[in-house]
Amino acid sequence: MSSKEKILGTAIVLFAQKGYSGLSMRQLAQAVDMSVAAIYHHFPDKNTLYLEAVRFAFSDKEQVFAQVWESGCSAEEKLGGFIRSLIDVMLQDRDFHRLMQREILEADPERMQLLAQGIFKRQFSLLMQLATELAPEQDAQLVATSIIGLAKCYVEYQPLLKNFPGWKPKHEMPEVIAAHITELLLNSLRAKTA
């Protein structure tokens, strides 16, 4: 692994943990066991390093969902598969999830456009298409947003939910969460189309 990749990989983890201004170049340098100057040899400044780290983290996610779309399943099965894949990705790559949370929190308009157009557009369009198949008379963007929002909130609220009444260990199991969400959505979409 090249120095540059090592820096990027470590930066993802630390930026996700501490945020942009929370991570200093000195801390990053120590974590990759290099000098600050060595990092500045590979990246012109901190901001560019951050942007490259975000792109690096996103780069391998596109293909995870390909098999769902390319499977010969029914629309209902595809919905289940997509939800399960989404939860798995977020639970397995927590740093990726936290980086996304941070990006959305900062909500910089320029960065949002980059994220939407450059990274998520294709997946979102395919999901809207699926929503249209399942419930043609409903607003596809609203349905797609609900699907993503439902999946994401369970990953996001996990540390909080532990402290509420009614919590059970199975609430952290991806298959349980996915089943609940999928059933909720299919119940509703079926009722509507009926």
Partner DNA sequence: GTCTATATGGCGATAGAC
Partner DNA sequence: GTCTATCGCCATATAGAC
* Binding stretches for DNA (CB under 7 A): 3, 23-27, 33-38, 40-42, 44-47
The site for a copy of itself (CB under 8 A) is made up of 18-22, 98, 101-102, 104-105, 107, 109, 112-113, 115-117, 120-121, 124-125, 128, 139-142, 144-146, 148-150, 152-154, 156-157, 159-168, 171, 177, 180-181, 183-185, 187-192
What is the helix (H) or strand (E) element at residue 165, kind and residue range? Answer: none
SS3 of residue 157 by DSSP: coil
For residue 166, the partner it binds in a copy of itself, DNA, none, with Cβ less than 5 to 8 A by kind, is a copy of itself
**What's the CA gap between 36 and 13, in Å, rounded?**
18
Quick one: 21 or 163, whose CB is closer to DNA? 21
**What's the CA gap between 121 and 117, in Å, rounded?**
5
Quick one: 40 or 69, whose CB is closer to DNA? 40
SS3 of residue 134 by DSSP: helix
Dihedral sign, Cα of residue 28, residue 30, residue 32, residue 38:
positive
Q: Which of 186, 142, 180, 189 is nearest to 161 (CA)?
A: 180
For residue 171, the partner it binds in DNA, a copy of itself, none, with Cβ less than 5 to 8 A by kind, is a copy of itself
